[in-house]
Amino acid sequence: MTKILVFVQTDENGAIKASEEIVSYCVNNFQSAEINAAAIVQHEQLEAVRNSLSNAGLNNLYLLINDSLFSTEIYSGILSEFLQENGHDVFLISATPLGRELAPRIASRLDIGLTADCTEIGIDENNMLLATRPTYGGKLMATILSKTFPQFATVRPGALKYTKCHPEKNTNIIEKYPEIDSSKLLSEVISFQKKNVQNTDWTTSDIIIAGGRGLGSKENFELIYKLCELTGAKPAASRCAVELGWAEPSIQVGQTGFSVSPKLYIAFGISGAMQHLVGIENADRIIAVNTDKNAPIMQSSDIAVTADAVETLKTLISDS
């Protein structure tokens, strides 16, 4: 039986959505595997983390209790030692900023390979992890098999569809207190201040409105922001719009940007090449507005509107 371990990133509300996506995907797709999760938590987080994961369909939930200030060095050390003591075939981390910082440190400590920023994962008949990620600037998708164990990968947030699980089995919750040898630490965290940024995780929004090259100019792309302000949606952009300087890379959707899974994705002036469609394949509903009725995104949409994207935006804004 394949043993899979998911590192669960947490906040004051429990497990973050990006980690829940990996857990739910593994539980729903790898029924023959043992699915475990590990979270590094402070005492004050214990109840929230238990509540968010106790009914997630896990076999075991390991709560690694550590009340010290956050330190990448401490976190990577705790997880590395846990993996050495508890053998697993596969280890998965969400490719959040924290995950991208921890993963290479853990890979270096354990001298194992790392497949980073995957958009798809699978398990083959030989219990090998199939880790798929974009390569050559998003022009190709490469499926990678690791030669080292545990097979290690980070998964792009939003790439795996979250499905709520109603398991029959009970999760075994184990609390552990990792030992930290402070004399071996190369750095010391004096203080930690959380940046006060409201609603920064736009990728988890229920409604996302995106613009592409078909809008014609940066001035026209500004209409995306105006419509978002009126509707409460979050703005996004295609790779072309970002490369043209109309939008920041931080809101790019696609293989070389972010994967999103909103309830509704509305695309204005986006042709929908394969690189973009991969980033929105988990959206519940897609509406596309484009003058080209044969554009790829029109064929992949629930509602395809053959119209001028700029004029449609102006009409929607004036009527709001």
Any domain includes 299: yes
Q: Give the span between the Cα atoms of 315 and 304, in whole angstroms.
A: 17
C-alpha angle 284-289-290 in degrees, rounded to nearest 5: 130
Sheet-wide strand order for 151-155: 115-118, 151-155, 90-94, 3-7, 34-41, 60-65, 172-176
Counting beta carbons within 10 angstroms of the beta carbon of residue 280, is it exposed (0 to 12), middle (13 to 18) or buried (19 or more)? buried
Do 206 and 172 lie in one domain? The reply is no
Q: Pick from 217, 197, 304, 200: which is nearest to 258 by CA? A: 200
Instruction: Let me know whether 166 and 62 are in one domain.
Output: yes
Same domain assignment for residues 38 and 160: yes
| 174 and 209 co-located in one domain | no
Residues 141 and 216 in one domain: no
Q: Alpha-carbon distance 34 to 240, whole Å?
A: 42
The whole domain housing 145 covers: 3-184
pLDDT of residue 197: 47
Residue 194 lies in a domain: no
Domain boundary among 184, 211, 239: 184
Looking at the structure, tell me whether residues 130 and 81 fall in a common domain: yes
Q: Which of 154, 184, 214 is the last residue of a domain?
A: 184
Q: Contact at 8 Å (CB) between 263 and 285?
A: yes
Q: What are the structure tokens assigned to 17, written together? A: 């959505």
Q: What is the CATH number of the domain that holds 26?
A: 3.40.50.620
Residues of the chain with pLDDT under 50: 197-199
- Is residue 131 a part of any domain in this protein? yes
Rg (CA), the chain: 21
The number of beta carbons lying within 10 Å of the beta carbon of residue 1 is 9
In the prediction, which pLDDT does 199 show?
47
Residue 193 lies in a domain: no
Question: How far is 167 from 57, CA to CA, in rounded Å?
Answer: 5
197 belongs to a structural domain: no
Q: State the total domains in the chain.
A: 2
Q: For 140, phi and psi rounded to 5 degrees?
A: -135, 155
Predicted pLDDT of residue 212: 94
State whether 14 and 147 are in the same domain. Answer: yes
Final residue belonging to a domain, choices 158, 184, 210? 184
Is residue 192 in some structural domain?
no
Question: Which pair of tokens denotes residue 49?
Answer: 């983390």
Predicted confidence at residue 138, as pLDDT, reads 61
In this structure, is residue 215 part of a structural domain?
yes
156/252 same-domain check: no
Same domain, 281 and 145: no
**25 shares its domain with 148:** yes
Are 137 and 234 part of one and the same domain? no
Return the CATH number at 264.
3.40.50.1220
Give the CA distances from residue 90 to residues 128, 147, 154, 222, in Å, rounded to whole numbers and listed in that order.
Answer: 8, 12, 11, 44
**Could you tell me if 143 and 240 lie in one domain?**
no
